[in-house]
Amino acid sequence: MFIGHFAVGFAAKKLNSKPSLGTYFLAAQLLDLLWPTFLLLNIEQAEISHDPTNPIPLSFTHYPISHSLITVIGWGLLVALIYSLNRKNPKAAVLLGLCVITHWLLDLIVHIPDLPLYPGNSLMVGLGLWKSKIVTLIVEFTLFAVSVGLYLKSTTPKNKTGTFATWALIIFLIIIHLMNTFGAAPPNMKVVAWAGQLQWLFVIWAYWSDRNRAVKDEEIRYVTKASSANPLSKVIS
């Protein structure tokens, strides 16, 4: 799952507009932002798979800190706590925490049984949707299209940057997803780990593009307030 996780960020912005889209991306993709670092530090392990029966060219052999259900709940609570203490917005904090946990639930749908429930000798789970590449693509693109549609309907560009930066982000995410799906297997895990670090660019990109967009309800309130404060508007009306 790749764009499916970013879809959660787009949809969450519709539910609560206070956090930036970049913050939602950070929460929704947190596990896959942590995982490459843990790989480089040799805290977690994965292998290139040459097994033709494996639906993807990677075998996730050991990632209990970033991807076990118990630790994921912990990461979600931590994100919610940090945001709540920093922004004093409990509702948005809860939603951000749920975005973190949703990552594991979406992974559960697509992964073969390799997701641990807790660190240690845990049962591995996964429903294995990856075994059907076409069905996986349909599910992810449907989720992504609906979520992007919600985001675009609930926000409006403040300027040209708000239009072009947002559409460029959407298109680039789609391109990367297709490259991941149909591209050649990576040569080694160091390449995978460093490529994974590039996902931070999507978070930064989302902060930038979202800063140049306004929530439609807030824009209407702003225009109404400005009109009522302008005496000429009463004469014109």
pLDDT digits (tens, 9 = 90+) for 41-90: 999 999 998 877 788 889 999 999 999 999 999 999 999 999 999 999 99
Report which of 128, 126, 123, 120 is spatially closest to residue 64, judged by C-alpha positions. Answer: 120
The pLDDT confidence band at residue 218, using thresholds 50, 70 and 90, is: low
What local confidence, expressed as pLDDT, does residue 230 receive? 55
Residue 168 has a CB neighbour count (10 Å cut-off) of 12
Q: Domain residues for 49?
A: 3-236
Query: pLDDT tens for residues 162-204?
Result: 999 999 999 999 999 999 888 888 999 999 999 999 999 999 9
pLDDT recorded at residue 237: 35
Letter for the amino acid at 117?
Answer: L
Number of domains the chain is built from:
1
pLDDT (tens digit per residue) in 116-172: 999 999 999 999 999 999 999 999 999 999 999 999 999 999 999 999 999 999 999
Confidence of residue 236 (pLDDT cuts 50, 70, 90): very low
The model's confidence at residue 222, banded by pLDDT at 50, 70 and 90, is very low
Q: Who wins on pLDDT, 48 or 220?
A: 48
Burial profile 4-32: b = 16 or more Cβ within 10 angstroms, e = fewer: bbbbbbbbbbbeebebbbbbbbbbbbbbb
Structure tokens at 42: 């040799």
Which of 219 and 46 is assigned the larger pLDDT? 46
